[in-house]
């Protein structure tokens, strides 16, 4: 495969755009370097790059793409919105419709507010929790990524971890001191953190099913214990469902784990590929938000008709019968095939999968927390990533990320992917 045009464009990008990319996880630093491929168009489960190479896509734009690229129903909705005016700065009927759809799918959302990114959604839930509790500290779990606002960029997952900068420069220590980090899936560590800081903890922030050091499910009872212990201490529980909302079921991860948080932050899938975020929760908490309450949050682009139309269209597609069973069946086929080839070639592979999302770790052990994910073999992953790219399989360039399936993937795509995996494993085993 030739990447000449991508290489030339990346050189040009480096002259104009810092690091040549508009989000650090798009650079290939986490996989030993290389030139990020410049994609030109995408349809369904496939990408075509500027050199004319075709790929099967498992990046899914880091999670938002679940219907496949350029899904006609979503494309029509965006196009209609474009011709109807993309931004009014006034309320619209569409926002009511979408808010109702979200509330119906996720019952803990008694009231919602639309924003423009997952970062904004999480950042605001923390502000609201602080306003509600009149406390300042936040407990988060190591390796969980909650966007790039100051407070949560401490021991954050895939992007910063890949770059080896778990704590960003430019964040005052006074802010970092407001964050307590404990290992995911470790009830005792959490209990201890609450014992020490409980009276100051406004909220506990957690990805109920982790997506940012790979797909990691909570151990049975873990999230219920987090809820109980936090509530006993007067702290709120915020679920960051930016990846998980509508990824595993038509609704949220809270439905899967059977525990309800006080507030939820969302993004990614609910925008159908356009920029969006949303947060919501208990009405008495949400009423802290301006114009009703003292916690200020605003946005010129918030609830814009284009993003909302794309989001409605995306959820309409996901409502079709069998969506999540289909994703599950493709995911199982992929998981089984990769495991089979790994054992044939004697490679240490561990797959964590839920429905249509999975992470392939190079390790002999289980991955239940960030330290275990961090200890997996990054060099093997880098080799795997680059060889798979050569075979026309587009993965996220980081050992901490998930593969995301879409309803546009077919069994033929999975078969082709598994052929590539077999070839790549045979090279890696030499
Ligand atoms: N929360 C989680 C769990 C995420 O995975 C991400 C992004 O990857 C965010 C928040 C931030 O979302 P955004 O990139 O839309 O700001």
Residue 162, pLDDT above cutoff 60: no
Q: Which residue in this structure is represented by tokens 């920029």?
A: 275
| Per-residue pLDDT reduced to its tens digit, 359-382 | 999 999 999 999 999 999 999 999
Active site residues: 145, 240, 268
Q: Using CA atoms, how far apart are residues 259 and 148, in angstroms rounded to an integer?
A: 26
Taking the centre of ligand 1 as the mean of its atom positions, its distance from the CA of residue 144, in whole angstroms, is 10
Sign, Cα dihedral of 326, 273, 275, 331:
positive
Residue 201 burial (10 A CB sphere; 0-12, 13-18, 19+): buried
Ligand 1 atom nearest the C-alpha of 212 is: 5
Q: Count of CB atoms within 10 A of residue 224's CB?
A: 14
Residue 321: the pLDDT is 97
| Per-residue pLDDT reduced to its tens digit, 193-251 | 999 999 999 999 999 999 999 999 999 999 999 999 999 999 999 999 999 999 999 99
Which residue's CA is the nearest one to ligand 1's atom 12?
118
Q: Candidates 122, 215, 275: which one to mutate for ligand 1, based on the most atoms within 8 Å of Cβ?
A: 122
Taking the centre of ligand 1 as the mean of its atom positions, its distance from the CA of residue 159, in whole angstroms, is 10
Ligand 1 atom nearest the C-alpha of 267 is: 15
Verify whether ligand 1 is closer than 6 Å to residue 357 (CB atom).
no
The secondary structure of the chain, three-state, reads CCCHHHHHHHHHHHHHCHHHCCCHHHCCHHHCCCCCCCEEEEEECEEEECCCCEEEECCHHHCCCCCCECCHHHHHHHHHHHHHCCCCCCCCHHHHHHHHHHHHHCCCCCEEEEECCHHHHHHHHHHHHHHHHCCCEEEEECCCCCCCCHHHCCCCCHHHHHHCCCCCCCCCHHHHCCEEEECCCCHHHHHHHHHHHHHHEEEEEECCCECECECECCCCCHHHHHHHHHHHCCCEEEEECCCCCCCCCCCCHHHHHCCCCCEEEEEHHHHCCCCCEEEEECHHHHCCECCCCCECCCCCCCCCHHHHHHHHHHHHHHCCCCHHHHHHHHHHHHHHHHHHHHHHHCCCEEEEEECCEEEEEECCCCCCCHHHHHCCCHHHHHHHHHHHHHCCEECCCCCCCCEECCCCCCHHHHHHHHHHHHHHHHHHCC
Verify whether ligand 1 is closer than 6 Å to residue 25 (CB atom).
no
- Confirm or reject CATH 3.10.20.600 for domain 4-70+322-428, answering yes or no: no
Show me where the domains of the chain are located.
4-70+322-428, 72-318
Verify whether ligand 1 is closer than 6 Å to residue 158 (CB atom).
no
- ipTM exceeds 0.90: yes
Taking the centre of ligand 1 as the mean of its atom positions, its distance from the CA of residue 370, in whole angstroms, is 17
Ligand 1 atom nearest the C-alpha of 157 is: 5
Q: Count of CB atoms within 10 A of residue 325's CB?
A: 10
| Residue 406 contacts residue 65 (beta carbons within 8 Å) | yes
Verify whether ligand 1 is closer than 6 Å to residue 203 (CB atom).
no
| Per-residue pLDDT reduced to its tens digit, 23-57 | 999 999 999 999 999 999 999 999 999 999 999 99
Verify whether ligand 1 is closer than 6 Å to residue 238 (CB atom).
no
Q: Which are the contacts of 277, defined by CB distance < 8 A and separation ≥ 6? A: 114, 115, 116, 117, 118, 119, 120, 121, 242, 265, 266, 267, 271
Q: Using CA atoms, how far apart are residues 243 and 314, in angstroms rounded to an integer?
A: 15
Verify whether ligand 1 is closer than 6 Å to residue 212 (CB atom).
yes
Return the half-sphere exposure (C-beta side, CA atoms, 13 A cut-off) of residue 94.
24
Verify whether ligand 1 is closer than 6 Å to residue 218 (CB atom).
no
Which residue's CA is the nearest one to ligand 1's atom 5?
243
Q: Using CA atoms, how far apart are residues 277 and 266, in angstroms rounded to an integer?
A: 6
Mean pLDDT of 144-151: 93
Q: Candidates 208, 209, 242, 401: which one to mutate for ligand 1, based on the most atoms within 8 Å of Cβ?
A: 242
Verify whether ligand 1 is closer than 6 Å to residue 159 (CB atom).
no
| Per-residue pLDDT reduced to its tens digit, 396-425 | 999 999 999 999 999 999 999 999 999 999
Residue 296: the pLDDT is 97
Q: What do you get for the CA distance between the two ends of the chain, in Å?
A: 22
- Confirm or reject CATH 3.90.70.10 for domain 72-318, answering yes or no: no
Verify whether ligand 1 is closer than 6 Å to residue 122 (CB atom).
yes
Largest CA distance in the chain: 65
Taking the centre of ligand 1 as the mean of its atom positions, its distance from the CA of residue 416, in whole angstroms, is 30
Taking the centre of ligand 1 as the mean of its atom positions, its distance from the CA of residue 6, in whole angstroms, is 27
Average pLDDT of every residue of the chain? 96
Instruction: Please name which of 271, 265, 202 lies closest in space to residue 61, comparing C-alpha atoms.
Output: 271
Higher pLDDT, 166 or 252: 252
Verify whether ligand 1 is closer than 6 Å to residue 145 (CB atom).
yes
Residue 175: the pLDDT is 86
Residue 22, pLDDT above cutoff 90: yes
Taking the centre of ligand 1 as the mean of its atom positions, its distance from the CA of residue 14, in whole angstroms, is 25
Residue 121: the pLDDT is 98
% of the chain with per-residue pLDDT over 90: 93
Ligand 1 atom nearest the C-alpha of 147 is: 11
- The CA-based angle 41-32-60, given to 5 degrees, is 30
Instruction: Please name which of 339, 368, 337 lies closest in space to residue 351, comparing C-alpha atoms.
Output: 339
Same fold, 4-70+322-428 and 72-318: no
Taking the centre of ligand 1 as the mean of its atom positions, its distance from the CA of residue 429, in whole angstroms, is 35
Confidence of residue 165 (pLDDT cuts 50, 70, 90): very low
Residue 167, pLDDT above cutoff 70: no
């Amino acid at each position: 495969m030739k990447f000449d045009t991508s290489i030339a464009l990346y050189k040009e990008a480096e002259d104009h755009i810092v690091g040549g990319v508009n989000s650090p996880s798009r650079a290939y630093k986490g996989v030993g370097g290389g030139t990020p491929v410049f994609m030109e168009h995408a349809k369904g489960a496939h990408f075509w790059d500027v050199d004319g190479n075709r790929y099967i896509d498992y990046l899914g734009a880091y999670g938002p793409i679940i219907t496949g690229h350029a899904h006609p129903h979503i494309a029509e909705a965006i196009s209609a919105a474009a011709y109807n005016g993309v931004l009014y700065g006034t309320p619209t009927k569409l926002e009511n419709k979408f808010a109702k759809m979200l509330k119906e799918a996720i019952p803990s959302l008694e009231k919602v507010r639309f924003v423009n990114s997952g970062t904004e959604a999480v950042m605001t839930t923390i502000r609201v929790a602080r306003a509600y509790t009149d406390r300042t500290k936040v407990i988060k779990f190591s390796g969980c990524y909650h966007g790039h606002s100051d407070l949560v960029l401490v021991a954050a997952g895939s992007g910063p971890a890949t770059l080896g900068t778990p704590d960003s420069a430019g964040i005052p220590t006074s802010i970092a001191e407001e964050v307590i980090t404990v290992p995911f899936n470790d009830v005792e560590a959490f209990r201890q953190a609450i014992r020490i800081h409980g009276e100051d903890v406004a909220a506990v922030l957690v990805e109920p099913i982790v997506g940012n050091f790979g797909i990691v499910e909570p151990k049975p009872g873990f999230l219920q214990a987090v809820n109980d212990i936090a509530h006993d201490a007067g702290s709120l529980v915020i679920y960051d469902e930016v990846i998980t909302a509508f990824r595993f079921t038509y609704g949220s991860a809270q439905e899967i784990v059977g525990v309800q948080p006080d507030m939820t932050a969302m993004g990614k899938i609910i925008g159908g590929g356009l920029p969006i975020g949303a947060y919501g929760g208990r009405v008495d908490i949400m009423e802290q938000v301006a114009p009703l309450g003292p916690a200020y949050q605003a946005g010129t682009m918030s609830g814009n008709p284009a993003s909302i139309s794309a989001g409605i269209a995306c959820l309409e597609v996901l409502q079709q019968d069998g969506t999540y069973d289909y994703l599950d069946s493709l995911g199982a086929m992929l998981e089984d095939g990769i495991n089979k080839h790994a054992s044939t070639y004697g490679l240490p592979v561990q797959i964590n999968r839920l429905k249509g999302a999975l992470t392939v770790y190079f390790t002999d052990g289980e991955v239940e927390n960030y330290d275990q994910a961090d200890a997996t073999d990054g060099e093997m992953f880098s080799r795997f990533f680059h060889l798979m790219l050569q075979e026309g399989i587009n993965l996220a360039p980081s050992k901490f990320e998930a593969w995301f399936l879409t309803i546009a993937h077919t069994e033929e795509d999975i078969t082709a992917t598994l052929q590539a995996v077999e070839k790549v494993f045979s090279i890696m085993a030499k």
